[in-house]
Structure 1
Amino acid sequence: MRDVRIDGDMIRLGQFLKIADLVDTGGEGKVLITSGDVRVNGEVDLRRGRQLRRGDVVEVMGRTARVA
């Protein structure tokens, strides 16, 4: 698992996927989210705009990053 620092208190799931290098493009992130391939804290989340906070863990296709 990799820790990814963010500016501020929150970040949207779609943005986090890109800065954490879990996806190459926003379009790829959108497809993975709507397909149910993204988990936040162990649960599938279908909302691209989900607000993530420090400590949240995001998993995409076996790769994991934590909001730091």
Structure 2
Amino acid sequence: MQSVQISSEYIKLDQFLKLADCISTGGMAKALIQDGAVKVNGEAELRRGRKLYNGDVVEVEDAGAFQVVRSEEA
């Protein structure tokens, strides 16, 4: 599992997918999420705006698992 650092309290799922280099555009994030290829904490997630917090785990089909890590500098 890869850790992806954020500097704020939370990050939206579509932004997180770009930060984790799973996709390169917002449109790709929308398609990936609508196809059911993304799970948050083990459950399928269909909302692009889902807020992710420190410790959440995002699984992306064909890309792997990523954990949200809030940096201490925030």
Task: Quickly name the TM-score band, shorter chain normalised.
Answer: over 0.9
* Residue 60, structure 1, aligned to residue 60, structure 2: yes
Q: Percent identity?
A: 53
Q: CA RMSD in A?
A: 0.8
Partner residue of 1:6? 6
Structure 1-normalised TM-score?
0.94
Residues in 1 aligned to 2:3 and 2:15: alpha-carbon distance in whole angstroms: 15
Structure 2-normalised TM-score?
0.87
Partner residue of 1:41? 41
Q: Secondary structure at the match of 2:6?
A: coil
Which aligned runs of 4 or more in structure 1 are off by greater than 3 angstroms? Answer: none
Alignment gaps of 5+ in structure 1: none
Greater CA radius of gyration, 1 or 2? 2
Partner residue of 1:27? 27
Superposition deviation, residue 24 in structure 1:
2.1
Residues in 1 aligned to 2:39 and 2:23: alpha-carbon distance in whole angstroms: 14
Residues in 2 aligned to 1:58 and 1:22: alpha-carbon distance in whole angstroms: 11
